[in-house]
Structure formats: structure tokens, C-alpha cells
Chains A and B, each alone.
Chain A
Amino acid sequence: MTDPSVRRLDTQEITTATDTREILANARRDIERYGLDDYLIVDVDSHHVELDSWPEILAYLDSPVMRDTANQMMRNWPQASHLALHNHPPGLTMQDVSGRIPHQASLGEDTPGATTGADRDVTLVRRAMDAMSIDLQVVFPQPMLETGLHPQPEVATALLAAYNRWFTTEILPREPRIRTMLGLPFENPDACLATIEEFGDTPGVIGFLVTSQRHAGVHRNAYMPVYRELERRGLPIGFHAGPNQADTMTSTMNRFLSAHAMSFVTCNMTHMTNWVVNGIPERFPGLKTIWIESGLAWLPFMMQRLDHEYYMRSSDAPLLTRPPSHYMREMFYTSQPMEWTDDKLLAATLEAIDAENSLMYSSDWPHWDFDVPGRIAALPFVSEHGKRNILGETARKVFELGDIAPSSHR
């Protein structure tokens, strides 16, 4: 008979119906091994599935005409009940590697007592935070990261406004451990300013976001008032990468791996180049800039490439008083997906960006390439002080989070 020391796991196979706490149960081993309950852990990039609550969000649309369009779409189009007005790219359904990574496709678990999408989302976020010993989590939407590619920019602007109102009304008041950087309707600089004005003082809003998949030059004069206002308020600006399987490069690619590996980086490479070469850090030296979800391997390449060209063509970048890499070293980066495939290359990358002062842990949960906090704690070439900074202390400074304590101290 079965030995009494043996317990058969209730969940033999993890599926989209498995509870988040069970999916992430193995993270507990890292928490105990590295004493992570004793660290302040701020997760600067995670996601909830806004399309699960889409009808609730669309109810926040300002325009009666657009609200009617959304309602007609949801009523009449068989597949549009959770997609109305959205530009969800069909290739995103390849993300879960044909069911191999179920949590990417859906967190379909039970959430007893949740009566709204917001209730359910907050429950799911809490489960993930507790499983990974995360003290504060910055939560973003998912498919809305594609709003910069919406065929009708005014619809994208309206959807962002509705989402921002829904999130600040329904999500943030429910859980003080949740924070966010709200998306800016970047196609419309006046609407960006109005967004900052409306939500800049809202508790839990700790910055604003540009979703990086878009075809806008971030150096255009029209954006200067936006950067100036964020600098004046001491609010960081984040550039959140996203996928694109239809740009001039990725449209040649036949595998999701290829398009994801490239497009999550090239969008931010483009904005970083315009940002630095046009001297935005010289114009707004107090504006804290965060580059989100492009990984880290691109950074030493960009530093070397831009410095190399700047030395020969400084007249193309007359606002710069230092090499581009110097400005890049003063910006901030989220850690995920940390390309840890070669110790020497990763160590050199972390040194190049002054990671102990510029890097902020991010999980990107529940995406298929998420990182647990133990990933940072396990780095053999980062000091104990540096690990504490990366896991939470740098975020505490950047976002002026004040006096918050690790979970073990509460």
C-alpha cells in the first residue's frame, strides 16, 4: 500500500482552471531559501486581463455614440462580447505555446464571492502577490498595450479614458497594495495632458505610461508640454513594450518566437533612440524615465551603438553634452524578461546599466515569460544591497512610495 509519507497532489496537471496559488506554489521554495519575506518587493510590471471585464469598462465610455457602438457590437457580433471596439491582434492567441503555458491563455479559476470583473481581478492579483511574497504590485492591462496600433486613434483615446476611469474607480480603491501607471492617449497630446490632470493626484496612480507599439516620434514638439507636466509633478513616465507581428520586420517572420523576440525590443529601441538623440533628458533632467518589458540584453547594444555614432556625428545630436550611454545609465529599467542564458553576458549587462541603482524587479505575471522574485535573489554577481535595491528599494525611491514595510514586518 501507499507509504503514509506520500501525498498524491490533487492537481496532477496544471490547466487554465488551476488556482493561481497552486500554479505558483513552487515560488514558496525561493521565498524560504532567500528569506524573501524579509525584503521589500515591489513588482513594477504585472497584468490583469481587462477583456474579462470589458463590458464593465465600456460602460465608462464618455461618448453616448461610442457607447452605443460598443453595445451594438457586443449584442450583434457573436465573438465581440469581450472585444467590442478593441484592436486585439489575432496572433496574440499564439502566446501560450499551444496550451503548454496555460496561465498565459486564461486564469479561469474559481473566485468565490466575486460579483464583478473588478472583484475577480483584485482576487487574482492578491493571490499572485501572496504566492510570490510581493508587497506592492504595479498592474497594467494586457491587450490594451496595443492601443497605439488602433486603426481609429480617437477610439483608442476613448477606450483609454474609459479604462483609466474604471481602473481608478473599481480596482484601486479595493486594494491598497495595487498601484498603476495609467496609459496616456499618446496620439493626442492635449488628451495626454487632460489625463494627467484628471488622474495625477489619484491615490495609487504612481506615474503614466506610453504603450510603445505605435508609430509616433516621442521627440515631437507637441509632446514637450506632456513631459514638462510629468516632470513638474515628479511623476515617472514609462514606456511599456508590446508585440507586433505585422510591422515591416516581423511581417517576414513565421513563428511567434521570432516576432516576440524582436518586436518587444525594437519598439523601445526606437523610442530610446529618439528620446536620447533629441536630448529629452537634457530638456527635462528631472523626468524619471522607465523602460518596461523589453528585457535587458538590448541595453549594452544600444549604449555602444549610439555612443559609436554620436562620437562621429555629434552635430546630429547638438543637445547632448555627454555620450548617449551616460543618459541611459541614469534611466530606469524593469527586469523582466531577464535574459539569463550566459552568466558573463548578463553580469556585463547589469554593470553597464548600473543595475544596482537603475533596475527594478518586475514579474510580468501572468504572462508566459514571467520572472519570480527568486530570479533576482539568485543572481551571483549582485551585492546584497543591490538585490534589495532591485527587488524594491529603487522602486521606493523612483515612485516615492514612502514608508512601506516588507510582508514579514506587517
Chain B
Amino acid sequence: MIELDAVSHDFDGRPVLAGINLSLAEQRVGIVGANGSGKSTFARLLNGLVIPKAGRVLIDGLDTAHEVKAIRRKVGFVFQNPDHQIVMPIVSEDLAFGLKARKVPKGEIASRIDAALAHYGLGYLRERPVHQLSGGEKQLVALSAVLVTEPEIIVFDEPTTLLDLRNRNRVAAAIAELPHQTILVSHDLDLVATCERVLMVEDGRIVADGSPGEVLRFYRGQMQ
């Protein structure tokens, strides 16, 4: 359960989120909004990358301001650009990165990497240098690197923006089958339409909250 209690935030005095109260219990929640509306900041609150200047963000009752270590074990984060998320030069080394940070025993690391890559049919990439992968492969590796750490919630910040249609479809299919609670920030309205609940953010406020049909109709109207 994700709860935001009177959350406000600003960057150097410029407000980006204002008085947000929310509870998110649905398995798949989509977030839409124009560029600069505050939706990426919203996503970053959930992993403790941004700590709100006012209010509290609670993940299963844990406050992101005080329990960041536990929060990051619970909440995985997939960024828009996998080149800025993948830390290590070789695919297997990158998947091992998060596991080593969690002090997973060495023997277990290899088997978990194999299982995570095999899940998306990426076993053949195991020892490949990251810079030789396609955009879609990189995004799936970034997702695998999050999944291998076994989070309970996964936040996606525009995961398909940089991808061509084929790779977008691969990543969308991977997201669709996740059993985790998934928070999906995206301009890809077809992807957001698969969520159970959609929020629209505008000027740091939630201006629409409901089913994908209702919210996306309102959003399209606002964007005319």
C-alpha cells in the first residue's frame, strides 16, 4: 500500500507538487501529465529519491524520509533511459550489482541472474557488453536488474519513450505480466490504458483520478 499524506515539494522555491493526499492499493496505477507537470517527481517520491519538503510518503507504513534502506528493498525503479540506469559494463555484472548491495551470497547471485535473464529469454546476453545491446534489450536488462532484487513494487518512469514500436511492445508485454504492484508514469497512453487506475498530474496537483477510460478521455481533451 502506497500512501501520500499532504505531500508538497519544491525545487529551489518552484513548487512541483502541492498538497497531495492519496492511497494507492491497485495492482497497476498509471500516471499521465504534460512535461514538467510533476509526475516524474511523484514517481521519485515512491523510492525515496525525492524526500518531500512537507507531508509523508508511506510504503506499507514505512516513511520514505526515515526508512530509505527498507523502502529501496521494497520499491524497484526503472528509469526512462536505461543507459543512465545500467551501472556495470557487462549484463551479468549489472544484475549482480543490486544483489551485492543487498549482501546476497555469491553462490545465489549467479542462479538469480540466470533465472531473471531466462524469464525474458535474454540468457544469450549474459556476458555481453551493455553498449552492444539494442534499446529494447537494454530496457529489459534494466527491468531484469530490478526484478532480480525481488522488490514488491516497481515504479516505471517513461519506460517506452526511447523505444521503437517493436521494442516498445516487448517492454509493454514484460510490464503487463508483472505480478508486482506497478506504478507507471508514461506518455504512452495505450500502455497506461492497461492500468486499473489512472491519475493525471497538472501543475503538481492530481486533477483527475479514476478509471483509464475516464481519465485518458479528460487528458486528451485537456491536451487539445
Do A and B belong to a common assembly? no
